[in-house]
Amino acid sequence: MTPFFEEAFNPFKTEGFEIGRVALEHKRVYRILTGQGELLGEVAGKMRFEAGGREDFPAVGDWVVIQPRYEEGKATIHAILPRQSKFSRKAAGVATEEQIVAANVDTLFIVMALNQDYNIRRLERYLIMAWESGANPVVVLNKADLCEDLNEKLAEVEAAAIGVPIHVISALDAESAEILRSYCTGGRTAALVGSSGVGKSTITNQLIGSDYLKTQEAREDDDRGRHTTTYRELIALNTGGCLIDTPGMRELQLWSAEDGFQGTFEDVETLARSCRFTDCRHQNEPGCAINAALEEGSLRADRYESYQKLQKELAFLARKEDKKAQSDEKAKWKQITKSMRKFKK
């Protein structure tokens, strides 16, 4: 536990509470790591009542305030300590709701296989979400032994992941994966994200030093994975750090990405600020730096198209969030009015 969380926990400590960290969550039942072993936890009734949405419940990686019952192997969760980072996506489905994939992560390993899974547009989405989370992204290009055009793909990734560390590995080779171990020391937490079949479970086993997680071969017809990992789990490593393994994500919808968007597309944003007119729409205006870069080839057309597409997606999400906020506020005041009427009677 870092000084940040120690300070946040101090007010609760004087009241007799203890602290733990969420290692696994399943249907609002939590496995909690404590200094005296693992406990099964549930949130207190008051905390459940006051929760406004999924983000108000503990997520894997959260430090939580607990009232333990060691003799039963159980605990009641009374509060979540402030999160230093959170990797979120829009929850699957039509509802506009945040799903926290992992909390309090220092390094986010974005794993992409150098076979048919390779998708630079998907990488851009992961980078946006990583920068927005507050964690430091690291791109891990796995299955290098299966790639015939490594230099070409590496150059493309370097152009998309500007300033981000990139490691090319073959996860089945323990020495190749060893370079990732340095990110999981000294109390730091790393998390693995990526599609199914990219090798996250194999990397996890290499970092643990045992076959902790089962692994499966990707399907032969399309190299896609089979969802070896079915839940998020925090694992304590003998390096003094922690690792969070996550299931492959079929849907990768953005949640909030103002800072993350700028960090991922810093090259495009810099060009846009160089346009002659501040309100340039990058169409036929004179002195447009975007169009000039596209014409000379210093900005790839597919990257700019991705930039525009993601901008529209974020704008649409913002409109939906605003409508949801208005609806929630209306429902809250309706309930308050109803309660006041009952009180007057």
Ligand-binding site membership of 140 (annotated)? no
- Give the list of residues 6+ apart from residue 6 with CB closer than 8 angstroms, or none: none
Ligand-binding site membership of 198 (annotated)? yes
Ligand-binding site membership of 280 (annotated)? yes
Instruction: Please give the share of the chain, as a percent, with pLDDT higher than 70.
Output: 78
If pLDDT is split at 50, 70 and 90, which confidence band does 321 have?
low
Q: Sign (positive/negative) of CA torsion 185, 186, 187, 190?
A: negative
Domain with CATH 3.40.50.300 in the chain: 86-245
pLDDT in tens, 78-106: 999 999 999 887 665 555 577 888 999 99
Ligand-binding site membership of 306 (annotated)? no
CATH architecture of 258-334: Orthogonal Bundle (1.10)
pLDDT in tens, 56-68: 999 999 999 999 9
Ligand-binding site membership of 142 (annotated)? yes
If pLDDT is split at 50, 70 and 90, which confidence band does 322 have?
low
Is-contact 19 9, C-beta < 8 A? yes
Domain with CATH 1.10.40.50 in the chain: 258-334
Query: What's the pTM?
Result: 0.76
Domain with CATH 2.40.50.140 in the chain: 3-80
- With vertex at residue 330, the alpha carbon angle to CA 328 and CA 333, rounded to the nearest 5 degrees, is 110
Ligand-binding site membership of 143 (annotated)? yes
CATH architecture of 86-245: 3-Layer(aba) Sandwich (3.40)
Measured between alpha carbons, how far is residue 72 from residues 34, 67, 69, 77, 176 in Å?
14, 12, 6, 15, 43
Ligand-binding site membership of 267 (annotated)? no
Ligand-binding site membership of 241 (annotated)? no
Measured between alpha carbons, how far is residue 182 from residues 134, 173, 213, 238 in Å?
19, 17, 21, 12
Beta bridge partners of 113: 142
Is-contact 100 54, C-beta < 8 A? yes
CA–CA dist 283, 267 (Å, integer): 18
Ligand-binding site membership of 275 (annotated)? yes
Ligand-binding site membership of 144 (annotated)? yes
Of the candidates 22, 36, 263, the one whose C-alpha atom is nearest the C-alpha of residue 136 is 263
Ligand-binding site membership of 176 (annotated)? no
Ligand-binding site membership of 199 (annotated)? yes
Ligand-binding site membership of 145 (annotated)? yes
Ligand-binding site membership of 113 (annotated)? no
